[in-house]
Amino acid sequence: MKISSPLVQMTVALVALTGTLLMLADLFFGVLSSRDVETMRARKQIGESLAVQVAALMERDERELLQRTLASVLERNAELRSLAIRRADGQVVMQLGNHQEAWRDSAGERSTISQLAVPLNAGAGRWGQFEVTFRRPTGNPVVRWLSEPMVLMLLFMSTVGAVAFALYLRRALQHLDPASVIPDRVQGAFDTMSEGVVVLDTRGRVLLTNKAFRGFDEDAAAARTGAALSALPWLAPSLPADAADHPWARAMNERTMVTGLTLDVGAGDQARHLIVNCAPIADPGGAARGCLATFNDVTELHRANAQLRDTLQQLSSSNALIELKNQELHRMATRDALSGCLNRRAFHEHLAPLFARAQKQAFPLSCLMIDIDHFKSVNDTHGHAAGDRVIQAVAKQIAAAARAEDLVCRYGGEEFCFVAPNLGVEETRALAEQIRQRVERDVTASLHDVPQLKVTVSVGVHTRGAGAATVAELIDRADQALYRSKRTGRNRVSMFAGPKATSLVL
């Protein structure tokens, strides 16, 4: 049940306190009797009285009279269910009624409301016991429980006492209500403010709230004078666990303003983002007498900022995606799809400024034309799929030999062009030979699943400085050296040296 006012809280507390004191008094002093206890006491007296008669008759060995007497008692008393006399060794010497079914051995010698065991003694020792079973109380258990004196007393206190306490406390609280001393014009002034305003006492209890604060939540609207602000259900989850860290408590303890604290309250559509400012209220001596707390609802601004951040993030993600797409498009536009090397258009776009810079700065620029030997027979013998694999494997070995500043281009079907700046003639010759050897050794090994396949390349080399004045002339002279390698047996490196090119055969 939702307790909505201090009056109801105090009434419930007084009723609970009175009921608790009543139960404690009964526990320690037995001021209220229990129906079961009275029943147990009466049945115990019956059992003990019968046990005296049984002992006397058994002592005189008048068994027939004893049986008639017990049968008469069982017949006249409707509460009795069965009677029995049991020796110490457990043997039943006499029973009336269905005692075997009625008696529960698990109870032992302990008497309960439904069965009673009275010891029978002979001389200085115990002879056995007289056993009596009673019928269990009948009727509805709930009705029987409600008719108990303790329950009736508690019901009486809960109804009549609650009304009496409420009437008394209502008149008392009217004189003690701190809100009654606040003029209506002050309340009206606070209600005109757009910020939520709460005036608290030194213990953090609500003295006054304005209209804006009461509009934050249903629980805020129901906040009553005297309730702890920190205990409001809609506000409590967003506050620090330690009450001393609550902003109004800090403001009063430190005698200073606490500003700019942000609180996220509620959930879902009811979520709010509040900025809390607290200022202590002090008396002329400087002692804290309370606190003025304001709650500024910046939910819409917070949502707008969050939406703006989301939009910027989406825009950033879109830009990153566009950049990736542009890079992909650039790669597709500049790279050969099969080999991954530069295509001819991109190769010439990079080579032209490099050649111009080499001319201006007078550094060497070498060009290698590389052709796969007998490539047509590879396609004819092993198929175009194998031919594509050969091109990819050769391109991989050429790219592995290249530096960051080198240019590698798939110049034709099985022909590659390699441009390397800042390499002398002998360095370029060594580079070309390295590429030739790597292709012969590693490409053939990597394609071992293609039977009877041996891959080699022929290389033609020219280093600018021997008369090439244009890019086309540089490539053409390297191409002439390449044809020299092919004419002289393939799988070799030839250096352009004028009309008579030299070949390096290993």
The C-alpha atoms of residue 389 and residue 273 are separated, in whole angstroms, by 63
For strand 115-122 and strand 493-495, is the pairing parallel, antiparallel, or unpaired? unpaired
Structure tokens at 56: 């006397």
For the chain, give me the number of helices (H) and strands (E)?
18, 15
Cα–Cα distances in Å, from 289 out to 130, 174, 276? 77, 22, 19
Neighbouring C-beta atoms of residue 58, cutoff 10 Å:
19
What SS3 state is found at 60?
coil
For residue 433, the surrounding DSSP H or E stretch is helix 425-438
Residue 59 annotated in active site: no
C-alpha angle 228/232/237, rounded to 5°?
120
Cα–Cα distances in Å, from 66 out to 49, 57, 126, 130, 442? 14, 6, 20, 12, 120
CA trace torsion 489, 395, 390, 429 (10° rounding): 20
DSSP 8-class letter at 477: H
Sign of the alpha-carbon dihedral angle for 97, 102, 104, 107:
negative
Amino acid at residue number 349? E
The C-alpha atoms of residue 226 and residue 6 are separated, in whole angstroms, by 7
CA trace torsion 224, 229, 235, 239 (10° rounding): -170
Structure tokens at 433: 């030979």
Rg, the chain, Cα only = 54
Catalytic residue among 131, 414, 415, 433: 414
Instruction: CATH number for 179-297: choose from 1.10.10.10, 3.30.1490.20, 3.50.50.60, 3.30.450.20.
Output: 3.30.450.20
**The total number of residues written for the chain in this structure:** 506
DSSP 111-139: --SSEEEEEEEETTEEEEEEEEEEPPPPS
Is residue 488 a contact partner of residue 502, using CB atoms and an 8 Å limit? no
Domain range summary for the chain, segments of one domain joined by +: 35-134, 179-297, 335-504
Instruction: CATH number for 335-504: choose from 3.40.50.720, 3.20.20.70, 3.30.70.270, 3.40.50.300.
Output: 3.30.70.270
> Residue-wise pLDDT tens for the chain (506 aa)?
344 566 787 778 887 787 787 777 766 766 566 677 777 888 888 888 888 888 888 888 888 888 888 888 888 888 888 888 888 888 888 888 888 888 877 555 567 878 888 888 876 678 888 888 888 777 666 666 666 666 777 777 778 877 887 777 776 665 555 555 455 667 777 788 888 899 999 888 988 888 888 888 777 776 677 788 888 888 888 898 898 999 999 999 999 999 988 888 877 777 788 899 999 998 888 888 899 999 998 888 877 887 888 888 888 888 888 888 888 887 888 899 899 999 999 999 999 999 999 999 989 999 999 999 999 999 999 999 999 999 999 999 999 999 999 999 999 889 999 999 999 899 999 999 999 999 999 998 999 898 889 999 999 999 876 457 899 999 999 999 999 999 999 999 999 876 544 444 43
Structure tokens at 465: 């400085």
